[in-house]
Amino acid sequence: NHPLGPDGEKAWPKKYPFCGGVFQSPIDFHKDILQYDSNLLPLEFIGYNVPSTDQFTLINNGHSVKMYLSPTMYIRNLPFEYTASQLHLHWGNRNKSEGSEHTVSGKHFAAELHIVHYNSEKYPDVTAAMDKSDGLAVLAILLEIGPFNPFYEKIFRHFRNVKYKDQMVQVPGFNVRELLPDRLDEYYRYEGSLTTPPCYPSVLWTVFRHPVKISQDQLLALETAMYCTESDDPEPLEMVDNFRNVQEFHERLVFISFR
């Protein structure tokens, strides 16, 4: 059994009780649970255009590939001001490119980008915020196959330098807004959790309705570039299928900004 994703996750609640608890993510967006809310405004992104003289650290943490963001990046138009912390991806494998965490009417997308922010009005840093009910805001971008995407390539071109766990590389700053879909006004909004242990129910989710396209080659690079294991491990473990299954969503609603 693979330690990540659908196989590994059955064992999570024993060690991490929140993983078996309430407000868990991801979920399937299907029509019975969706409710239009006219108050959902497009988010505003401040400081997202990071100069190339600044650098982001990209790291293979053994579960995903994660890029630390600049504390000068933040979002407005949520209940609080949220400051950027990191982004990371979830994906499938080369034979089954169905690695998104959230699904729409039961359908997976190829992969999913998460941009994690913390409530910087109430908490001093992401560690203090991550277990608080109003602690985090995560933007989720669904990825599907299409033309080559030069903006995602600004991250993907560094994968060769983070093949193994704990490897890291510096990435020149760029406009992180370019990773988002053109339409920022249409999204799903609900209260959920981290999708990895300890699964704290602390995340205000914004999942954009419109997927972003990356090429077949770029997706394959994501699905095959990395290992969960360190470079000297005698039993290398490919980093694939690092998505969690959709969770029960009883008695809850997802608010949508579109009809």
| Enzyme catalytic residues | 63
Total site size for ligand GRE, rule CB under 6 A = 8
CB of 133 to ligand GRE, least distance (A): 14
The footprint of ligand GRE on residues 83-122 (CB under 6 A) is 114, 116
CB of 257 to ligand GRE, least distance (A): 21
Distance CA 168, CA 90 (A): 18
Instruction: Name which of 114 and 154 has its Cβ closer to Zn ion.
Output: 114
138 within 8 A of 116, measured Cβ to Cβ: yes
Q: Distances from the Cα of 142 to the Cαs of 19, 155, 194, 201, in angstroms?
A: 23, 16, 17, 21
Q: Where does residue 112 rank: exposed (0-12), middle (13-18), buried (19+ CB within 10 A)?
A: buried
110 contact choice in ligand GRE, Zn ion, none (CB below 5 to 8 Å, kind-dependent):
none
Instruction: Name which of 203 and 254 has its Cβ closer to ligand GRE.
Output: 203
CB of 85 to Zn ion, least distance (A): 12
Q: Which amino acid is at 30?
A: H
Q: Which residue of 97, 195, 206, 247 would you call a contact of ligand GRE, by CB under 6 A?
A: 195
Query: Is 257 near ligand GRE (CB under 6 A)?
Result: no
CB of 63 to ligand GRE, least distance (A): 7
CB of 240 to ligand GRE, least distance (A): 15
Query: Is 114 near Zn ion (CB under 5 A)?
Result: yes
Q: Closest-CB residue for Zn ion? A: 114
Instruction: Name which of 50 and 116 has its Cβ closer to ligand GRE.
Output: 116
In this structure, the number of other CB atoms found within 10 A of the CB of residue 79 comes to: 10
Query: Is 138 near ligand GRE (CB under 6 A)?
Result: yes
Query: Is 203 near ligand GRE (CB under 6 A)?
Result: yes
214 contact choice in ligand GRE, Zn ion, none (CB below 5 to 8 Å, kind-dependent):
none
Q: Which amino acid is at 81?
A: E
Letter string b/e over residues 45-60, b meaning 16 or more CB atoms within 10 A of that residue's CB: beebebeeeeebebbb
**Short-list 75, 173, 66, CA closest to 120:** 75
Instruction: Name which of 120 and 195 has its Cβ closer to ligand GRE.
Output: 195
| Stretch of 43-51, 179-187, 189-197, 208-216 contacting Zn ion, by CB under 5 A | 189-197
138 contact choice in ligand GRE, Zn ion, none (CB below 5 to 8 Å, kind-dependent):
ligand GRE
Site residues (vs ligand GRE, CB under 6 A): 114, 116, 136, 138, 194-196, 203
